[in-house]
Chain A
Amino acid sequence: MKSETGFDPALYDRFPTAGERPEGELEALEEVWCGPKGWQWITAINNNFVGVYYVGAAMLFFVLAGVLAVLMRTQLAVPMSGFLPQETYNQFFTVHGTTMMFLFAVPAVEALGVLLLPQMLGARDLPFPRLSAYAFWAYLIGGLAFFASLFFGLAPNGGWFMYPPLTSTAWSPGINADFWLLGIGFIEISAIAGAIEIIVGVLRTRAPGMTLDKLPIFAWAMLIFAGMIIIAFPSIILSTLLLELERALGWPFFDPLKGGDPLLWQHLFWFFGHPEVYIIFLPAAGAMSTIIPAMARTPLVGYRLVVLAMLATGFISFGVWAHHMFTTGMPTISTSFFSAASMAVSLPAGVQVFAWIATIAAGRMRFSTPGLFVVGGLVIFVMGGLTGVMVAMVPFDWQAHDSYFIVAHLHYVLIGGMVFPMFAAIYYWLPMTSSRPLSERLGKWVFWLMFAGMHLTFLPMHLTGLMGMPRRVYTYLPDRGWEWPNLISTLGSFLFAAAVLIWIIDMIRNFRPFGGRDAGNVFDGPGLEWLPTGLYSVRSIPVVKSLYPLWDQKGLARDVEAGRYFLPNTATGERETIVTSTLNAEPQYLQRMPRPSAWHVWAAVFTAAFFLLLTVKAYWPAAISGVLGVYCILQWCWFLDRPLEQVAVDIGAGVTVPTYAAGPSSHGWWAMIVTLVVAGMVLLLTGFSYVFLWSRNPADWAPPPGILSMAWAVAGNAAAALLAWLACRSLRLARPRAAVLAAVMMVAAAGLVVGAWWIDLDAWRATGLRPEANAQGATVYAFLSWQGLFAAVVALMGPYALLRWLAGHARADRPATYDLIALFIVFSAGQGVFATLLTRLFPGG
């Protein structure tokens, strides 16, 4: 095998090592990775804890949203029912949809990744465990506060996709819509934080030898899922930001009277909203592709094709957003393109379905509870997929749009494509984290009740939809033929609820996490996650030689448990994991992992408080929370980038790797790049919004400010980027004054970014254009506000770099922090140039 990094693959032949391991090695490992006690449960960062908290919270939201669904179905059981008032019903269906999509589906699969990936990849933990914990606490606090708005009558009521003008202040004057906009926008930040963790984790912390063709299919799915979050979620962040700016400050992005357009919301929302479906589906499909081979006791048929199909799904999911907008009067050729693309989605989905069927046919399928759930999910998903092809056809969609047919379709896809696989995953992987598996007998009851309940609830909805029943109505008149289908749907929902109730009872009876032992590999799974583990993950990190290591590498579990592979100890006396290369997983360096602390929890608390207080318009307390949140994040960052005394350590069998890395080979660099991709997507979509709104009323756009201010702004940003780059070069020189020079240049670069932003802002203000005047003003000031946010962060980073130098943390042998600050400054400068040039030169004047 050709080396990717210069590492000699022949070194793998030294493993498994022979002989006994030194005494006390395992005890030291256990000591370093010890579990929390008392209040430390809150500050725990180990994925074995945070992953379980995360999955638990997601399932809590599933149950809460499910209760709302049952109450709504009770209301609709008979015509003209008075069980729920209209306004309450509106809030219920909005919170049900929002909770299921934002607080259950995405976090549940992300949580599954946080819980499973380290063990599956053979890592001690994901590379940023505090980030995972921060994402979890932010999500939990924000999610509970959002859901609790129901109890005060403050919940949003505009549907889960919150179309303006219904959600503009004219039609939604209270703060209900703000709860959605700020609450969900905030929770999505937590989803992005999780995605960064997963991308870097899958690419950089795989066990040595786990090349891409040996990467577990679930890890592939999680990698694609996280990549999709990075591309799609900025769109919902931007759209919620724009609508909130319109509601709070009167910036008319969506108001046609001032040159705005409500269709902009639909484009931005669905550019996120449609990929969201695949974001939910892909990890669940990855779980299916993992569980089916284990239950059928045979390798997955067409592994390469399934990987390709998942990648293709990821790509095409961004090309179909406007099929939710067929009825908005887009040009025929555009609807035809979107229709063709939407039908094409069925091909990669079909490849996966046929691979699953072929695997089941090739093996000896066991229909225990996980087996039942995967097969049931497959049947339901195929049915939902078929109606998906129907609604991809424009004439049919015109008839079915906003009817109960769509409700039936989306529930078939989401329940078959995500809920059933999620239950299969819970039943399959729970023995990994619990000392007892769930009950097979109760599990079968859960499956059959859920399967029957699902079909009873949603199959009749196809008919009620075709008979003309619109979605989101709180009641209906008798004698339209809708009574029986609705009554059957309601009875079905009760069956579904009974299944969930039995599952909860089963969990209470049998789920015993965080103990010293687990139930073990009860289904004979082939992945590394079934190796014997402790809180440190695997005892030693194996060399992976197969896609199914536990089936193909004989004696692997025994040798791993005996410490005969990589890192059988704590090489530095700290928590640590091996960072490997992205393609061939060759060992590159040893990453020191953080220990628990409270800063990330406080940061999550204050960030959540900031957004929630903004929602209730308590501006001063919100500002104080924001400042405290920033302080906690700075405290958290301050203890990063501290090299160890040992420059290099033996990670087993005489293989030595460094303990520090900076630049493109470091995990921090990758995380910053992914973060900047998120910011870049927001920028591109803001650019799209600008051009889109211009195209609505080109004649109404005023000329931009003069060219001199543009030249100053561009020059300032260019100089900032150059200085930031020079600062990094200077720091690496290891000369007496190099560090101070680097610090000064970094501060100057930060000052230039702020200065360039101010010049641009001042020039636009001088033209007399105001953000509330028209769509041009709104989008120009949106650009300026976004750049202002970055200028503020850069203004913090400059002095932070100086402080690091003053404290002796800026040195030639520890340039990572300066590299990352420079990356951020260069991006901010580039963003400033892009915004300035676009708003000045297009359409010009």
Chain B
Amino acid sequence: MLRWVWMLGGLIVWALHFMGVYGIASLADVVSRADDPPWRMAGLAFSAACVLAALVLAGSAARSLRRRRDPSARFGDQLAVLGAGVATLAIVWQALPTVIGY
């Protein structure tokens, strides 16, 4: 199970990110207004933390990939690197509405 979490780590961070930013916006909408700057900044900070997590995962997976020779183990690492890379880009993309248009 741990190996699966490792392979899908980047994608899991990505999923947590979109649930998190929706959650923060929804909470803000209950407390005040979702578009208020402090809440948007809270969302942005969360996005930054997720980007950092995805980058750390990508780096760890890349190091692991360099060490391994067995093709089936390398496959898992390759998925982990690619997934974390995609997640990094996707999180940045999805965070852009927080800073653009206001």
List residues of A whose CB falls within 8 A of some B CB. 1-2, 211-214, 304-305, 307-308, 311-312, 315-316, 318-319, 322, 331-334, 336-341, 344, 347-348, 582-584, 695, 698
State in angstroms the CA–CA spacing of A1 and B71 once bound together. 8
Instruction: From the candidates B8, B40, B79, name the one contacting A333 in the complex (CB within 8 A).
Output: B40
A308 touches B15 (CB 8 A): no
B82 touches A340 (CB 8 A): no
Nearest-Cβ distance from residue B85 to partner chain A, whole angstroms: 9
Name the interface residues of B51-102: CB closer than 8 Å to any CB of A. 70-76, 78-79, 82-83, 86, 90, 93-94, 96-98, 101
List residues of B whose CB falls within 8 A of some A CB. 3-4, 8, 11-12, 14-15, 18-19, 21-22, 25-26, 28-30, 33-35, 40, 43, 70-76, 78-79, 82-83, 86, 90, 93-94, 96-98, 101
B29 touches A212 (CB 8 A): no
A333 touches B72 (CB 8 A): no
Interface of A is mostly: helix
Nearest-Cβ distance from residue A330 to partner chain B, whole angstroms: 8
B78 touches A695 (CB 8 A): no
A331 touches B82 (CB 8 A): no
A336 touches B79 (CB 8 A): no
B19 touches A319 (CB 8 A): yes
A311 touches B76 (CB 8 A): no
A307 touches B70 (CB 8 A): no
Query: A213-B72, A311-B83, A319-B15 in contact; A333/B78 too (CB < 8 A)?
Result: no
Instruction: From the candidates A2, A211, A331, A347, name the one contacting B35 in the complex (CB within 8 A).
Output: A331
B70 touches A318 (CB 8 A): no
Query: A319-B19, A333-B43 in contact; A1/B72 too (CB < 8 A)?
Result: yes
In the bound complex, residues from chain B placing their C-beta under 8 Å from that of A339 are 97
Nearest-Cβ distance from residue B67 to partner chain A, whole angstroms: 12
Instruction: From the candidates A311, A315, A334, A344, name the one contacting B79 in the complex (CB within 8 A).
Output: A311
State in angstroms the CA–CA spacing of A338 and B75 once bound together. 32
In the bound complex, residues from chain B placing their C-beta under 8 Å from that of A213 are 71-72, 74-75
B94 touches A304 (CB 8 A): no
In the bound complex, residues from chain B placing their C-beta under 8 Å from that of A583 are 3, 72, 76
Give 17 CB contacts A-B under 8 Å: A2-B73, A211-B71, A212-B75, A212-B76, A304-B82, A307-B79, A311-B79, A316-B18, A331-B33, A333-B35, A334-B22, A337-B22, A340-B96, A344-B93, A344-B94, A695-B26, A698-B30
Query: A308-B83, A333-B97, A344-B94 in contact; A695/B19 too (CB < 8 A)?
Result: no
A341 touches B94 (CB 8 A): yes
State in angstroms the CA–CA spacing of A315 and B82 once bound together. 14
B21 touches A337 (CB 8 A): yes
Apart from A211-B71, A336-B101, A344-B93, what are 18 other A-B pairs with CB-CB below 8 Å? A1-B73, A2-B70, A2-B73, A211-B75, A212-B75, A213-B75, A304-B75, A304-B78, A305-B82, A311-B11, A315-B12, A315-B15, A319-B15, A319-B19, A333-B25, A337-B25, A338-B22, A583-B72
A211 touches B79 (CB 8 A): no
In the bound complex, residues from chain B placing their C-beta under 8 Å from that of A333 are 25, 34-35, 40, 43, 97-98
Query: A212-B75, A308-B86 in contact; A337/B94 too (CB < 8 A)?
Result: yes
B35 touches A344 (CB 8 A): no
Q: Give the interface centre of B18, B19, B40, B71 by most chain A CB atoms within 10 Å.
A: B18
Q: Which residue of A lies closest to B76 (CB)?
A: A212
State in angstroms the CA–CA spacing of A447 and B94 once bound together. 40
Instruction: From the candidates B18, B78, B101, name the one contacting A341 in the complex (CB within 8 A).
Output: B18
Q: Give the interface centre of A336, A348, A698 by most chain B CB atoms within 10 Å.
A: A336
Q: Which residue of B lies closest to A209 (CB)?
A: B72
Nearest-Cβ distance from residue A310 to partner chain B, whole angstroms: 11
B97 touches A340 (CB 8 A): yes
Query: A316-B90, A334-B34, A344-B93 in contact; A311/B18 too (CB < 8 A)?
Result: no
State in angstroms the CA–CA spacing of A43 and B38 once bound together. 63
Q: Which residue of B lies closest to A332 (CB)?
A: B35
In the bound complex, residues from chain B placing their C-beta under 8 Å from that of A695 are 26, 29-30
In the bound complex, residues from chain B placing their C-beta under 8 Å from that of A312 are 11, 14, 83, 86
Query: A211-B75, A319-B18 in contact; A334/B94 too (CB < 8 A)?
Result: no
State in angstroms the CA–CA spacing of A152 and B82 once bound together. 54
B15 touches A318 (CB 8 A): yes
Nearest-Cβ distance from residue B59 to partner chain A, whole angstroms: 18
Q: Which residue of B lies closest to A338 (CB)?
A: B22
State in angstroms the CA–CA spacing of A582 and B2 once bound together. 12
State in angstroms the CA–CA spacing of A837 and B59 once bound together. 40
